[in-house]
Homo-oligomer: A and B are copies of this chain.
């Protein structure tokens, strides 16, 4: 979560770092134990032994905190995409990579649905601009462009990104009770139809 956009960014003070870690741990623990929607920010601050102000200065708001908690796992996924074995990693044809990417993201999101929902939904469009989402989008766009440059690449990318949203996934998984495997297959089919 440290964002040293410029290398000249001031280093973090020791107590600040310690508190950040404590908050992250507390959030992870409480959200896992009591559920995301049943855990207030006050409770997290208290669990971390920290004032409310500290929490909010560090993380801005609730959905950003969720994003920060997700960040570690997200990096693992990014690594697998950038340097892992095909078809998720480089080496396979674009359409196959897209299907594999969809599968991976769906699985990732399904594993921690509530958390991703928190980050994605209650953030007034900030989600789309968040770092991990931007990376995902870029990856999709590159592959779409490689598979079928003769179409509206941006629009196709939007559709493929949106089909992986936590909201849609939550609806499909919980309301319509569609199993994950079916959604993964459906996404693969969508990719094939759209770009194949």
Contact = CB atoms under 8 A, between A and B. Distances in A.
Contact of A159 (B121, B128, B182, B190): B190
A168 B168 CA distance: 12
Contact of A171 (B128, B170, B183, B190): B128
Interface in A132-181: 151-152, 154-156, 158-159, 162-163, 165, 167-168, 170-172, 174-176, 178
A129 interface: yes
A134 to B, nearest CB: 11
Contact of A178 (B122, B155, B190): B155
A7 interface: no
Contact of A186 (B129, B155, B190): B155
Contacts of A186: 152, 155-156, 159
Given A186-B155, A193-B193, A168 B178 contact: no
A125 interface: yes
A189 interface: yes
Contacts of A17: none
Contact of A151 (B159, B189, B194): B189
